[in-house]
A and B are shown apart, each in its own frame.
Chain A
Amino acid sequence: MKFKVRGIDTFASTGGRPFDKNKPLIIFVHGSGLSHMVWVLQTRYFAFRGYSVLAVDLPGHGLSSGESLKTIEEMGNWVGDVIGAVGCKEASLVGHSQGCLVTMECVAQHPEKIKTLTLMGGASAIPMNPELLKLAEESNPKAVDLMMDFAHGPAGHFGGHPVPGLYHLNVGSMIVQNKEIKDTLGVDFRACDNYKNGPEVAKKLDLPTLSILGAQDRMCRLKDGKILADYIKGSEVKIIEDCGHMMLLEEADQTLEILKKFIAEHYPLPS
């Protein structure tokens, strides 16, 4: 659905159900250069089981208007504004990769609004390879090829998409190339590279938190994901074997099962 955040047209997938502000809200936040389309194998499930779902396109991404936000702090604040913009008071957040930094910042800035936090493929810092960052800021498609290479585990490189007929690397690549690379991926990579508050923000988090990590993740390595989880008081950690950074697609079923249990326990539907 389209709605306004700070006066700018914003798109969010509602998982195929009409948005209802009276149902518990789950907001999904995508990673660098991506869009709501990476969440299709999680959002539809919750939308058809009593939740209201928003898989947002960050400003300038996917089907949202405006320019990409330049810092993780701005993005975190923007996600907090989304909650009010759709007439809700609170939400659970699910972030992937850069979306983990964004959702942690959102909790830090709007602690009263956020009930649970799920971090997929996260780390407390995501420093960028200088060459990759330069390629992205120059809109060089090689940046996308490198990102897809790093983002998928060994199994993902062979294929085996959960949805019959889809090919992992090229789907991700086309989602990113839907927009000018420097205006989305380039800005996002720079924002990740500049962000240094991760450890401090993580240490202050005080809400039910789940980290889902890929054992073969080369973007945010398993050890870095574990360090982040260690910073967060009481964080649950689930590791998916033989899976890279794109666990939400590479191992969509396992990811959904883990998320279902966490949400059911910590953010249940009203009885």
Chain B
Amino acid sequence: MDPKTYKFDTLSLHAGYQPGKNAGSRQVPIYQTTSYMFDDVDHAAALFNLERGGHIYSRMSNPTVQVLEERVCALEGGTAALATASGMSAIFLTIMTLCNAGDHMVVSSQLYGGTVNLFRLTLPKFGIKTTFVKPRDTEGFKKAIKPNTKGIFGELVGNPGNELMNMPEVSKIAKEAGIPLIIDSTYQTPYLCRPFEHGADLVVHSLTKWMSGNGSSMAGILVEGGTFDWMQNDKFPSMTEPYEGYHGLSFAEEFGPTAFTMMARAEGMRDMGPCLAPQNAWNILHGLETLSLRMEKHCSNALKMVEYLSNHESVAWVSHASAPGHPDKELAEKILPKGTGSMIAFGIKGGKEAGAAFINNVKLASHLANVGDARTLVIHPASATHSQMDEATLKFAGLSHDMIRLSVGLEDFEDIVNDFEDGFRAAKKPRLVANK
């Protein structure tokens, strides 16, 4: 006897949506509206006081966005989700729900540059300080925890160096300390890894990337695993003690496995308002329908690309968890059995100048500040995505000036290789080849 609940590919097409409640529309409708009619005064009061479910104002929730939230939640195996205007706003909302002024976070050092700046420069303005730990330094996460630490945050596969955080072991450290582990799983998508199955408590995504794959829309999401006991200690009073903003409601007591998301929506969306536009939610939903198919091709193209780059005379080094000799290969095979993603970092011989020539002379690969598009993307992080870091921070984050970050797309592999050969030819003699 096995449960007949829907599986991954079916959920990516159907979860969160019932046509029968939407005029029979097979496609999810775009509810392009700011607000929703109340039945009467009593109905309005009940909605505002969280006595019943429903929509009030699209800053807080929207029916199209709700479908996206439930769909991602179902794919991740979570209890609740909250979509936001971008991945960065999902992270900010998560930290602002978790922490108060005077609190502290322990954070992996290998992150998207914007996330590094959020923890290093912006959150201290709100009295929230951070200790950065290198992703492979598992023991370092433990040592960095202080009495006022409220969580551990990291990308499972760090951007851009592709170093893995040992999520199962770091999760044990977080549990011992009575704090949640938050994983930015943008690089993996739930197709490659479901962090809740490896001990994470909260997951954030930039949905702008592989989850949509079409490069059309900004979006982010916070997903709750329902696994963390907020009442186990006195570290999270805003979750456990009566909240004045809702007549003394205790989110942890009342909502249990969905308490964090409920509070993030009730307080965070109410007061900060980083809401997702319904049109963007719809665009992301379109992408999600083909998530499995796209991730398979992303990963197979990435494996071929790793082999091609590893054997190329112009390449000094290649970093991808599938690459021979990668220090995290064994861990990756355990946590990411379906594939290690399509992000590759490589060093080009000739350093920064050769890197610039390479990027200026590829034509199929797009030079831009995004990853996870269906198209192949390249960038030189030290001069773009991570350019706001000083030299010491760049080094600590594992970045070098010869590094090229590659997001392998879905094109025919031979076409990508032909394009790269043009780039490498130009990189060999950067001063002799005219930039495009």
Contact = CB atoms under 8 A, between A and B. Distances in A.
A158 B254 contact: no
Nearest to B226: A174
B50 A13 contact: no
A48 B247 CA distance: 10
B53 A170 contact: no
A252 B50 CA distance: 13
Nearest to A162: B53
Given A40-B254, A149-B3, A170 B52 contact: no
Given A37-B254, A159-B70, A160-B21, A48 B51 contact: yes
A149 B4 contact: yes
A267 interface: no
B254 A16 contact: yes
A266 B16 CA distance: 37
Interface stretch (B79-87, B108-116, B149-157, B178-186): B79-87
Interface in A164-208: 164-167, 169-171, 174-175, 178
A252 B52 contact: yes
Contacts of A45: 46, 51-52
Nearest to A18: B248
10 contacts: A40-B255, A48-B51, A146-B1, A155-B20, A159-B67, A165-B70, A166-B70, A178-B257, A252-B52, A253-B54
Interface centre among B2, B255, B258, B262 (most CB of A within 10 A): B258
B14 interface: yes
Contacts, number: 152
A5 interface: no
A242 B265 CA distance: 29
A41 B47 CA distance: 10
A181 to B, nearest CB: 15
A226 B135 CA distance: 59
Interface centre among A40, A145, A148 (most CB of B within 10 A): A40
B81 to A, nearest CB: 5
Contacts of B45: 48
B52 A167 contact: no
Contacts of A4: none
A88 interface: no
Given A132-B1, A163-B53, A158 B227 contact: no
A16 B78 contact: no
Nearest to B70: A159
Interface in A231-256: 242, 252-253, 256
B261 interface: yes
B278 to A, nearest CB: 12
A160 B3 contact: no
B103 to A, nearest CB: 25
A63 interface: yes
B246 interface: yes
A162 B21 CA distance: 12
Contact of B50 (A44, A132, A145): A44
For the complex of A and B, the 7 pairs showing the least CB-CB separation, nearest first, are A162-B53, A174-B226, A164-B61, A174-B257, A163-B53, A149-B3, A44-B51
Contacts of A256: 52
Contacts of A129: 1
Tier of interface size on chain A: 35 or more
B53 A253 contact: yes
B74 A159 contact: yes
Given A16-B246, A146-B3, A161-B70, A37 B256 contact: yes
Nearest to B225: A174
B27 interface: no
Contacts of A146: 1-3
A223 interface: no
A23 interface: no
Contacts of B77: 170
Given A166-B79, A166-B258, A253 B52 contact: yes
A63 B2 CA distance: 30
A16 B80 contact: no
A265 interface: no
Given A146-B2, A170-B226, 4 more contacts: A44-B254, A162-B52, A164-B66, A174-B257
Contacts of B2: 142, 146
B300 to A, nearest CB: 31
Interface string B59-77: 0111001110111011001
A142 B4 CA distance: 11
Contact of A158 (B18, B62, B73, B248): B18
A158 B15 contact: yes
Contacts of A159: 15-18, 67, 70-71, 74
A40 B251 CA distance: 11
A221 interface: no
A163 B249 CA distance: 16
B397 to A, nearest CB: 33
Contacts of B17: 158-160
A161 B53 contact: yes
Interface centre among B21, B51, B80, B265 (most CB of A within 10 A): B51
